[in-house]
Each structure stands twice: as C-alpha cells, then as structure tokens.
C-alpha cells in the first residue's frame, strides 16, 4: 500500500513498466488522482483495490489492453466516480468482482473484442453507461449482477445462437427502454 491515501497525488506515470504487478491497495484512496499512464504494461496483475476510491480519476485509457495479458483484481477501480471511459478491445484477461463497481460517470466501455471473463458485479451501478457490446462474449462467463443498476444502459449488443450460461440479474435495473440487438441466428 505504498501510496494509499496520498491526497495530493494527481498523476501516476508508470509508462516504463512493462511487466509487474500493481499491488493490492497500492493507490487506494488517492482522492486527487486524475490520470494513470500504464501504456507499456503488458503482463502482471492490477491487484485488489489498487485504485479503489480514487474519486477524481478520469482517465486510464492509456492502458493498451490489446497487449495486456494480466488480470484486473477485485474492486481494482471500485468507486472511481469520475472515470469516463475504458477500452477493453483485444483484452484477454479477467475483469474481477466489482472491479468497476459504482463508477457512476463511466459512460463508455468497449468490450467488442474482449475474450476474458467478467466476474460478478464488475460494472455494478455504472449509472452513465449507455451502450455495451458483448458480441464476442456469447460463450464466455458473465457473472451475476455484472451490469446491475446501470440505469442509462439502453443498447446491448450480443451474438447468441442459443441461451448463454450467464449469471443471474446481469441486466437488472437498467433503462426501461433497454434493447437487445442480437447478431446471432
């Protein structure tokens, strides 16, 4: 927990880090942290609660998930209420339990070529999330409550030929006008 609770830390530049773990709770509660540069990270895990409660965090889009092979730990970005978008296209690791729980400003998540697993409540209560593309996840595990409480979620793209074995309540409490678009036959 090297930097946990550092209230004046505004940026983290780990652009030189290619391999290695970001330990559990490393930056938990760094309330002024606005951006993280992990653009060179290729392997290693982002630990549990690594960036939890970083309420000013807006940008982690410098992570190149097309090259990253590690896992995102449980509650890694828990209650990062200013986080706006994240691109998981090409990412093959797992998104942990409650990893982006209560990221209420998160409006865009690209999972179009994602091939890992989304564990329980990963995007729970992401109030601003409007569209989700799950077309590559038809036969992958999506845990219970993964998108529960995403009140603005109104477009869900899937590719299903048969009923998936997804968890319960994945899309409970989403927009009442929510529409599923199925590319399957």
Give the burial string for 67-85 (b: 16+ CB within 10 Å, else e).
ebebbbbbbbbbbbebbbb
Domain 1-185 indexed as CATH 3.80.10.10: yes
In the predicted model, what is the mean pLDDT of residues 13-32? 90
12: Cβ contacts below 8 Å, ≥ 6 apart: 3, 27, 33, 35, 36, 37
Give the percent of the chain with pLDDT over 70: 92
**pLDDT bracket for residue 26 (50, 70, 90):** very high
Q: Look at the chain and count its residues.
A: 185
| Tokens coding 40 | 């060179």
According to the model, what pLDDT value does residue 135 have? 80
Whether the predicted pLDDT of 138 surpasses 70: no
């Amino acid at each position: 927990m090297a930097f946990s609770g550092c209230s004046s830390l505004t940026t983290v530049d780990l652009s030189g880090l290619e391999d290695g773990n970001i330990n559990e709770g490393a930056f938990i509660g760094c309330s002024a942290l606005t951006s993280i540069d992990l653009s060179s990270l290729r392997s290693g895990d982002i630990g549990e609660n690594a960036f939890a409660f970083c309420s000013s965090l807006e940008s982690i889009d410098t992570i190149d998930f097309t090259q990253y092979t590690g896992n995102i730990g449980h509650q890694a970005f828990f209650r990062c209420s200013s986080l706006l978008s994240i691109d998981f296209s090409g990412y093959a690791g797992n998104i942990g339990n409650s990893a982006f729980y209560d990221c209420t400003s998160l409006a865009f998540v690209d999972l179009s070529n994602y091939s890992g697993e989304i564990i329980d409540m990963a995007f729970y209560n992401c109030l601003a999330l409007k569209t989700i593309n799950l077309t590559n996840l038809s036969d992958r595990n999506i845990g219970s409550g993964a998108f529960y409480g995403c009140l603005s979620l109104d477009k869900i793209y899937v590719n299903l030929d048969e009923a998936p074995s997804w968890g319960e309540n994945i899309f409970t409490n989403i927009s009442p006008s929510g529409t599923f678009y199925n590319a399957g036959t």
